[in-house]
């Protein structure tokens, strides 16, 4: 019986250490400053691959509707983007859903990271005030 409790306790500790912990959702302004790429887009297609270092990459094709902020030199975003899931905090998007995405472009021009701790969410969950504020920040 002691052994069973010990195993359960260890499993809970391991699960806790692997889980992503987010504090309260940060403000739009904080997310604006922390992200170099912010856009609204619909996921058209998704695939995935595991890199040699064991990290998971999701490859998304987006129909991009609005760009609020872009790290790209030409201020345009590619429709095919690679999102790295380095830990359990990576946001995984669903096909045929439209999102407001706060992301950071890393290295390769089509390579991004997006955390579940950011304000990224399905577009229908986003308040109009947030989109209006992003429009103001864009100017």
Kindly state the average pLDDT of the residues 110-118.
Answer: 86
Q: For the domain that residue 73 is a member of, what is the CATH number?
A: 2.40.50.120
Q: Is the pLDDT of residue 5 over 50?
A: no
Confidence (pLDDT) at 130 = 96
Q: Give the integer Cα–Cα distance in Å for 110 and 27.
A: 26
The boundaries of the domain holding residue 122 are 22-138
Does a structural domain hold residue 6?
A: no
Q: Is residue 9 very low, low, confident or very high in pLDDT (cuts 50, 70, 90)?
A: very low
Does a structural domain hold residue 133?
A: yes
């Amino acid at each position: 019986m002691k052994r069973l409790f010990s195993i359960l306790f260890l499993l809970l500790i391991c699960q806790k250490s692997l889980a992503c912990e987010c504090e309260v959702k940060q403000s739009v302004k904080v997310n604006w400053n922390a992200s170099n790429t912010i856009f609204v887009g619909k996921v058209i297609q998704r695939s995935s691959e595991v890199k040699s270092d064991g990290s998971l990459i999701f490859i998304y094709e987006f129909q991009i509707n609005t760009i609020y902020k872009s790290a790209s030199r030409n201020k345009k975003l590619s429709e095919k983007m690679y999102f790295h899931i380095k830990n359990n905090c990576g946001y995984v998007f669903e096909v045929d859903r439209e999102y407001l995405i706060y992301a950071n472009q890393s290295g390769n021009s089509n390579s991004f990271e997006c955390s579940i701790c950011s304000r990224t969410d399905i577009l229908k969950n986003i308040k109009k005030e947030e989109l209006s504020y992003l429009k103001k920040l864009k100017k």
